[in-house]
Chain A
Amino acid sequence: MSGSSKISNKPIIWGLFAGGGTLTAFLTPALVLITLLVAIGVAPNGLSYSEIHGFASHWLGKLILFGVLSLSLWHAAHRFRIAINDFGIRADIPVAVVLYLLAGIGTIMSVVYLWGM
């Protein structure tokens, strides 16, 4: 987080972070609820394995899943980077590299898995 008089390139990451934040703010509570419903076996039929598999096999379903997965990962990575800084660990660059690398790997993995379905 060095001082600079140049226009910052942080918008690249922050755009993904903000997009992911908006998305997860709406989706995460719903996903938690649905997961719990599935776990206790009271999920509606639309959430059966074959239905969800069908959704994830369609190109639009793939696109939606990719958006949710990758943006959530980038959001989490950036949030975690800032949380670590707020906790007083002053190693911003290595922390950022590791976290963004993880988000990047996750993004690539989601593409690979969705593509292979």
Chain B
Amino acid sequence: MSERKINLEVLRYDPDKDSEPRFQTYKAVPCQDDWVVLDALNYVKDNTDTTLSYRWSCHMAVCGSCGMMIDGEPTLSCKAFLKDYGDTIRVEPLYHFPIERDLVTVIDDFVEKLTKVKPFLIPKQPKSIEEGEYLQTPKQLKKFKQYTLCINCMLCYSACPQYGLIPDFLGPAALSLAHRYNIDSRDGGCQERMKVTATNIGVWECSFVGACSEVCPGHVDPASSLQQMKIASTVDWYKKRLMPWSKS
């Protein structure tokens, strides 16, 4: 297997020493041609600079930990093959998040937003164990399955210009997850979630740029779920005003 020398320009930040983030270039990192950017970072950490900090776990695009800006694009570094990049690759922490250290970001805002949308089944009619399972047909499952594939990698937040401008915006992943439960045949919590998702900082802050869907490694297509939620909350808005007697 052939070897290739890659220069890695990595944004470094040590809160104890640095007043602001700075770039550090690791020159001529010896890389195998089937490596991904994460492999190159691991090589640097193992052989050159043990202080380099970044998150990773599975190395197979499942855990969602290793999201970074690679040449300015939000990407999972375990999916970013070196053969697709030039000889100098710029690696930065995900945009729109505060930096904890080097490539590690503070994700508290995202986690808080996830809990806000109540991403769990709120059964229409709670059943006792004796009454049995909540049954679902394959067709009903297919309706929302795509939206279950989110791995919380936050690439969509990094890609979303609206989230960058308006940090209160609930953002693509949290809203898509709300949609996943809203359209689940076993769920009856749509109205409950709309108290958050139908506000100005909910779906209505989305201007349908669509960058979230472009960067999503799980092909969740968050942009589609947000547009569907806009339709649902528009119908709900008119229904509540024109037919106040109906219970939607």
Question: Which A residues form the contact surface with B (CB < 8 A)?
Answer: 1-12, 14-15, 18, 82, 85-86
Determine if B199 and A6 form an interchain contact, defined as CB atoms under 8 angstroms apart. yes
Between A and B, 10 residue pairs with Cβ closer than 8 Å are A1-B200, A3-B200, A4-B199, A7-B199, A8-B198, A8-B199, A8-B202, A9-B237, A18-B230, A82-B207
Place the interface of chain B in its size category.
20 to 34
Choose one: A1, A3, A15, A86; the contact of B238 (CB below 8 Å): A15
Question: Which B residues form the contact surface with A (CB < 8 A)?
Answer: 161, 166, 168, 194-196, 198-202, 204-205, 207-209, 230-231, 233-234, 236-238
Shortest Cβ distance from residue B214 to the other chain A in the assembled complex, whole angstroms: 15
Shortest Cβ distance from residue B232 to the other chain A in the assembled complex, whole angstroms: 10
Shortest Cβ distance from residue B243 to the other chain A in the assembled complex, whole angstroms: 14
Shortest Cβ distance from residue A75 to the other chain B in the assembled complex, whole angstroms: 13
Determine if A7 and B198 form an interchain contact, defined as CB atoms under 8 angstroms apart. yes
Determine if B207 and A3 form an interchain contact, defined as CB atoms under 8 angstroms apart. no
A-B pair count, CB < 8 Å, reads 52
Given contacts A7-B237, A11-B237, are A85 and B207 in contact (CB under 8 A)? yes
Shortest Cβ distance from residue B240 to the other chain A in the assembled complex, whole angstroms: 9
Given contacts A11-B237, A82-B207, A82-B208, are A4 and B200 in contact (CB under 8 A)? yes
Q: Which residues of A contact B161 (CB under 8 A)?
A: 86
Given contacts A85-B207, A86-B207, A86-B209, are A11 and B200 in contact (CB under 8 A)? no
With A5-B199, A7-B198, A14-B234 given, name 17 new contacts (CB 8 A). A1-B200, A2-B200, A3-B166, A3-B168, A4-B199, A6-B200, A7-B194, A8-B198, A8-B200, A8-B202, A10-B204, A11-B233, A11-B234, A11-B237, A14-B204, A18-B231, A85-B207
Q: Which residues of B contact A12 (CB under 8 A)?
A: 237
Task: Rank and list the top 8 A-B pairs by shortest CB-CB distance, nearest first.
Answer: A11-B237, A11-B234, A3-B168, A4-B200, A10-B204, A8-B204, A82-B207, A8-B200
Cα separation A66 to B237 with both chains bound (whole Å): 24
Cα separation A18 to B202 with both chains bound (whole Å): 18
Determine if B195 and A7 form an interchain contact, defined as CB atoms under 8 angstroms apart. yes
Shortest Cβ distance from residue B213 to the other chain A in the assembled complex, whole angstroms: 16
Cα separation A62 to B40 with both chains bound (whole Å): 67
Shortest Cβ distance from residue B14 to the other chain A in the assembled complex, whole angstroms: 33
Cα separation A18 to B200 with both chains bound (whole Å): 17
Chain B's closest residue to A2 (CB) is B200
Given contacts A6-B199, A10-B200, A15-B238, are A1 and B205 in contact (CB under 8 A)? yes
Shortest Cβ distance from residue B153 to the other chain A in the assembled complex, whole angstroms: 24
Q: Which residues of A contact B198 (CB under 8 A)?
A: 7-8
Q: Which residues of B contact A3 (CB under 8 A)?
A: 166, 168, 200-201
Chain B's closest residue to A16 (CB) is B234
Cα separation A8 to B231 with both chains bound (whole Å): 13
Shortest Cβ distance from residue A83 to the other chain B in the assembled complex, whole angstroms: 9
